[in-house]
Amino acid sequence: MSRAAHAVAAALVAIGLARPAAGWIPEPERAWASLAQSNTQSSRTRPIDFAVALVDMTGAVTATGRLRAEPGGHARLDLTLAAGGTEVHERNGSDYRVLRDGQRVDKAPHLLPPLGLLQAGKASEVAEALRALSGDPARVDLGMEGRYDCWVLGGRDPGDFQVNTRPSIWVDQETQQPVRIDDAAGVRYRLLDLAPKDGIRFPTRIEVEADGWPIWRIDVATPAPPAARLPGVGTAP
């Protein structure tokens, strides 16, 4: 193969087009059930409470805090900023709110993934979590995320795997573990290095990528001290 041909092949690999996504496409109900079983076996269907650090593209820790989520789709990220002040992200289905020092912020990156998809313990709950994101539970496509051949529950746009406007969750066909979530706001959440944490199999890192914003990373550390309940936005953590 010529040097030019090698260069073209390398470029195709880089954008995920050198080979198509492999595998068969299951019926939607079977895909929902597989993810629900994975969530249950990974113990993600119970309340989640972890200490986290927010890391920028240079590798600097810009905030530390706490990530909490409850089955049903309600999740909250409380951050203490290294530069001073606080920031709270709260998600409930497709509703997303940000408070900075107690004041509503309309323009901010959506750092908090729709964790309801990782906590759904029944097939019907997976479908409902997709609907809550304005996704189409009846659609399942094939896709590639990194080295993973995936089922894309909710579907994806044709073409480049890195671009998708459809709310969806990407599930590795081999392990049935989630590796990526795309939401209706055009944010891509990459769920990296899933590992047990206090009995819960959960991503060690979450990369957050959205057009017009720098890439952020949430590092998930040891479990935070238990909380009695998930507070609402504007209340003390």
Report pLDDT digits (tens) over 123-152. Answer: 999 999 999 999 999 999 999 999 999 999
pLDDT value of residue 197: 87
Which residues, at least 6 apart from 13, have a Cβ–Cβ distance to it below 8 Å?
none
pLDDT tops 80 at residue 205: yes
Domains in the chain: boundaries:
22-223
Which CATH code is given to the segment(s) 22-223? 2.50.20
pTM of the entire predicted model: 0.86
pLDDT value of residue 191: 98
Q: How far is CA 33 from CA 75, 82, 114, 118, in A?
A: 23, 42, 18, 12
pLDDT tops 80 at residue 8: no
Average pLDDT over residues 162-179: 96
